[in-house]
Structure 1
C-alpha cells in the first residue's frame, strides 16, 4: 500500500500549505576542562584519553598551555583580553562579542582543582604555527587555541525553516509532508570552532541545508517519493569520549583518573577498541557477573559517586579517614566479610557462565585459558567444549557461530592426502588457536611437522 501510494503521489498536485521560520542564536562553548578536552580530542583527533593527557602534559611542561587537570571553566583576565584582541585582529570586530564572556568557576560541587580552564599560556594567544608546534602537540594545541578564542566571539545566528506540503491522494484523503531547512545567517564563533569538527569552514557548509524560496499557496513539482521505514535502534556503544562524559555525569572518578580508568579496562581485557568504539569482551561479562553477585553495592554508580564525595570530605578535613576506612573494609557488609563469604559460596563455573536465550543450547564460559563454548554435539548429543577465537566478541556471537566452532573443534583429524616424498599422511587438525596442517600422526618418532 505504501509503495503504491509513493508511485502515485508524484502525479498529483502538490501545494504549500504553510511556511514557518524561526531564528535562533547559539553561544560559544565554555573553555576546556579535562573531561571536555578528552572528549573533543577523541572526536576530532582520534586521540585516546591517555594520549590526550600525555600530549597535554608535554605542552604544559614546555609552557604552552595552563595546567591540564582541572574542573574549572574560569579564564584569567589576561586570557580574556588576549583572546579578544586575537578575535578582533584575525576575524574582525563584527566577530567579537559585545562584552567579555565569563564562564563561572568550577563545573561541579566535587571539583577538586582551583586552577583555571585549559588554555594557551600567557596573554599573546600565539597560534600553533607561531609557536612552531607540529605533530600531535601542534594538533592538540590548535584545538585548545580555537576553543579559547571562540569563547570571546559573537553568537552564531541560524534560521530554521519548516515547509508544510499537502497533496490530494485521489481517494478523498490528504497526504501531509514536512520539509526542514537550516541556514547560517551569521557564523559568529563557528568561524573559529565547531564542536566535533576538525575544519570549521567545511563544517559551516555541512550545517547549511537551505530550502528553496517557498510561500503558502505555491505549487512545487514533485520529482519522486521514496518510502523509507524507520526502526528503533539500540543505544550506540561507548567511545572514549562518550564514556568520559558518562563518568563525569555520574560523578565517577576525577579529571586526573579518567584516562587511567579507560586504560585499565583495556589492559585487563574487559574491552577492545573497534574503531572508536569500546566493545565489551567475554571477560567483561564474567567479571560483571561476579561483581554483581558478590559486590553489588560496590559496583553501583550511586555508591561510587557517594564514595568519591566522602573522599573529598576527608581531603578537606571535614571527615576522619580511619573510621570510614575501618567500616568500608571490616564493617558489617564490608569488603573483608564479602570476600570471605564469596570464597565459600561462589561457584566459579556459575559466575563465569555467559548465557543468552538466542544462544541456547550453547553457553560461553571464561576459564583459566580464556573463553570457551560448551554445548551438545549434533551427532552424539554429548556435551563438549571448544576454545573461542581471540577476536570473537559477545556482540558478534551467534548460535550458528558457536555451533560451528564446537563441531569443528571436536570433529577429529581430517586426512587431506599422502605426502609424495615422505609417504606420510597430511592431516588437518584443530588446536586452541584454530585449524592447522600436520605431517604424519602423533605416534611417529620426534615432533611432527606443522
Structure 2
C-alpha cells in the first residue's frame, strides 16, 4: 500500500483522481464534513462565548469513515488534503488535519478541474491551510447558527397552526423576503393602458406607428394614449398610403457572450436549481467541467490558448476573438464554469461518458456558452425605412447577418428582405390596425432568477444558492406554480413577523454587508472574534425585547367543506406529515379523535401507522 494518502471530499472523485496519481498515493474520501457544530452550550448554539470559537464534534454518521482515515494516515509519510477550493473546503481541510493529527505531515492542494494536468500541477505546487479562509467559514457558521437557531425558535413559539416547523436564517430569510416583496409589487401593480397602430402593407410587411417627438409615453415612442388612438386611426383611414421619407443602412454588433458563473447557469438552464446543482457537480467529478460553485467568469490563459487553437482549426482564424469578457469573483480565484477539454464536443461527451439527458444538456449549454465567448461577435446589417401619412410617422425595419461569428454555434435565421422602395415613393396600405394593450405586472421569480438576484445583491455564496431556495420550498414558505415561486400565507406571516421584530437584521443591505465582512476576514483584514461579539451583543438585546413584545399569530385552519368526521362528527381539515410534507385529511378533534384519511387513495388508515413525530399542527 502507498505510504502517501490523498483525501478528497466526494467519493465520486476517488476513482478518477486515483487513475491520475497512480500507485503513488492512496486516494480516500471524507464524504464532506467529518465534524459538525455541537448543540451544547448557551442556548444550544454550540459556541464558546469566551473564546468565540465553534464547538465542533464528530459527526456520528462518519465514525467509520473517520476510523478508516485515521488508520490510513497514521503511518503515512505524507497526507495531501484535496478538499474543494472554497471556504467550506478549507474548513473541512482544517478539521481533517486536526482530527487525524497530521499537522506536521500534511500538504494542501487545490484544483479547479479534475484533469491529469490540473492534478499534476496541484501536486507540484502544494500549499498550506489558509487560516483566514477557515476563520471566515467559522464566522459564517456561527452567525448562521445564532440567527437560524434563535429566530427559528422564536417563530415556533409565535406562529401557530403552521404546516411545518417555521424557520429563519441569515440568507434563507432574505430569499423569502425577495419572493414576498415581488408578490407585494405584483399586487400593487397598476397597469398602463396604451394603444398601438400598425400599417399592413403588401406582401405581409408591417410598418409601426411612432412619435418622432413629444411621445405620449416615456417608456416607448410607439405607444399612443387610448383616448387619442381612435381619432388617429380615423384620420389615417382617409388616406390609406404611406410616403417614403428616409432609408438608411447601418451595422450592429451583437453582445459579447460571457462564460457561465453558477448563478447564471441556474437562471438559463431549464431545470430546477437543485437538479442543475446535482448535474454540474457530477460533471465536475467526472472531470468534464471546471469547479461549478463559482462566482467568477474569467478563464485560465492555458485554456483560452487551447480553445483559440480549436476555434481556428474548426471555424477559421477570423472567428477567434481577441478580447474576452470575464471577471474574478469575490471569493477565491475560481474560473468560470467551462469544459475541461474544448475538443470534447457535447456529442462526444455524451457518447464517451454515457451521459443521461440532463447531464448531456447541462454539459452542452456550458460548452456552447464557453466556446461562443471566445468567438467574434456576429455583425448584422440593419435596413430601416421611415414613412409619413400627413402628420403621422411609421417605420419598417429588417436585418441580415453579414458575419455569423458565434452564430456558428447557435445558428440563426435572417428576416425577409425589405421591398426596394425609393425616397418619395407612395406605398399603398391594405389596412391600418389598432391594438389596445396594457403593461403587465413584473414576473415572479423562478429558481434561477431568484438565485441570480441573490448573487446580484451579494447575498449568500455560490455553494449555498441552490440549497437556500430548496429550504424555503421545503419549509412551505413558497410554492411553485407554473414554474414561478409564490409565497404561501405561512411564508408571508413568518416574513412579516421577522421584518417587524428584526428590521436591522432581515435586510438585503445587512446580509450583503456580512458577506463583505466575511471576505475581509478571508483576506486577513478584519478580526472575526470582534465581529461576532459586536453582532451578538446587539442581536441578543434586540432578541430579548422582541421575545417579550411579539404577538402570537394563528394561521387559519384549512377545513374541508361539506364533510365531517365519521367517528365523532367534528370538522375535517388538512394536515401535513412532518418529514415528507405530504397532505392528508385528519379530524379537527385530534388528539381526542384519531381519524384520518389519505388524500390520494382515499383509504382510511389506522392512526397508529403515523407516529406523533410524523405529523404537525394543522394548517
Q: Give the aligned partner of residue 539 of structure 2.
A: 335
Aligned length: 344
Q: Give the aligned partner of residue 177 of structure 1.
A: 394
Structure 1 residue 291 displacement after superposition: 1.3
Mean CA deviation greater in 269-278 or 214-223: 214-223
**What do residues 417-450 of structure 1 show as CA deviations (whole Å, max 9, x unaligned)?**
xxxxxxxxxxx9974259xxxxxxxxxxxx9999
Alignment of 1:163-242 (within 5 A): 163-168=385-390, 174-192=391-409, 200-201=410-411, 204-205=412-413, 208=415, 211-242=418-449
Contact 1:86 1:125 in 2 (8 A): yes
Matched residues in 1 for 2:474 and 2:278: separation? 17
Alignment of 1:31-430 (within 5 A): 31-41=259-269, 46-97=270-321, 99=322, 101-107=323-329, 111-122=330-341, 124-131=342-349, 132=351, 133-168=355-390, 174-192=391-409, 200-201=410-411, 204-205=412-413, 208=415, 211-329=418-536, 331=537, 334-349=538-553, 367=555, 372=556, 387=558, 409=561
CA RMSD of aligned residues (A): 3.0
Matched residues in 2 for 1:161 and 1:297: separation? 54
Report the secondary structure of 2:517's partner residue.
helix
Structure 1 residue 310 displacement after superposition: 0.9
Q: TM-score, normalised by structure 1?
A: 0.69
Unaligned runs of 5+ in 1: 169-173, 193-199, 350-365, 373-385, 390-408, 414-427, 435-446
Report the secondary structure of 2:506's partner residue.
coil
Matched residues in 1 for 2:438 and 2:255: separation? 34
**More contact order relative to length (CA 8 Å, sep ≥ 6):** 2
Unaligned runs of 5+ in 2: 1-227, 576-594, 597-602, 605-619
Q: TM-score, normalised by structure 2?
A: 0.51
Matched residues in 2 for 1:231 and 1:255: separation? 38
Matched residues in 2 for 1:325 and 1:339: separation? 16
Contact 2:477 2:491 in 1 (8 A): yes
Matched residues in 2 for 1:258 and 1:273: separation? 17
Structure 1 residue 303 displacement after superposition: 1.0
2:236 is the counterpart of 1:29: no
2:231 is the counterpart of 1:9: no
Q: Give the aligned partner of residue 422 of structure 1.
A: none
